[in-house]
Amino acid sequence: HPPHHPMLGPQFIASIYQALATSPHWNNCLLVVTYDEHGGFFDHVPPPKAPDDRAAEGFDQLGFRVPTLIAGPYVKKGNVSSTVYDHTSVLKHIENMFGLAPLTARDAAANDLSDAIDQGRLAAGTPEPPIELPMVVLDESTMDPTCRTGAQRVKTELEIAVEQGLIPRHLDRRSENRDLAFFIGDYLANHGIGGIRRGK
């Protein structure tokens, strides 16, 4: 999300993947990362209709397509699925796995994630080992939100309010995101798969 560097998202996902990959529970994992929006890019595919308990309120169609990443020991390698999924497809998959009843008409009609799973390997109980992630190192300077617009950047109302003492410093949590990014970068560096190169 702006104003953060786009690579911080993949670094965060890499840290979660690495934690699962080095866990003794890897053989029982399925990591599903789906985005909540399409990023503002034009999509030439019109959203299809979808049944919903609240269709009369305007919830009668899916939204724009969003990226989804599925990883795990039984996921098909290099697979790009053409199956229509929606955000309730994860629920549908859980419901099907554990024999649960659908929660709503939307998840009852959704496709589950079976198309992404190698059913042969799953039935045989032959999990794939985790893949080795590429090394990705960011420079700390790319994390500065001002890098987007440089000298033309206008301070936000929040920045002005903090500078003028209108908001107590202990309530200004903007640095928490930066601290979290460094924490994730340190985790990746400790596992030899990335990090954040600190400025001098």
Mean pLDDT of 169-177: 70
How far, CA to CA in Å, does 196 sit from each of 14, 17, 135, 200? 13, 18, 11, 13
Mean pLDDT of 49-74: 79
Q: Distance between CA atoms of 150 and 85, rounded to whole angstroms?
A: 40
Q: What is the pLDDT of residue 167?
A: 80
Mean pLDDT of 132-152: 68
Who's near 93: CB < 8 A, 6+ residues apart? 112, 113, 114
CA 186 to chain centre: 19
Contact, 87 vs 34, CB < 8 A?
yes
pTM for the predicted model, two decimal places: 0.72
In this structure, the number of other CB atoms found within 10 A of the CB of residue 46 comes to 9
Residue 147: pLDDT band (50, 70, 90) is: very low
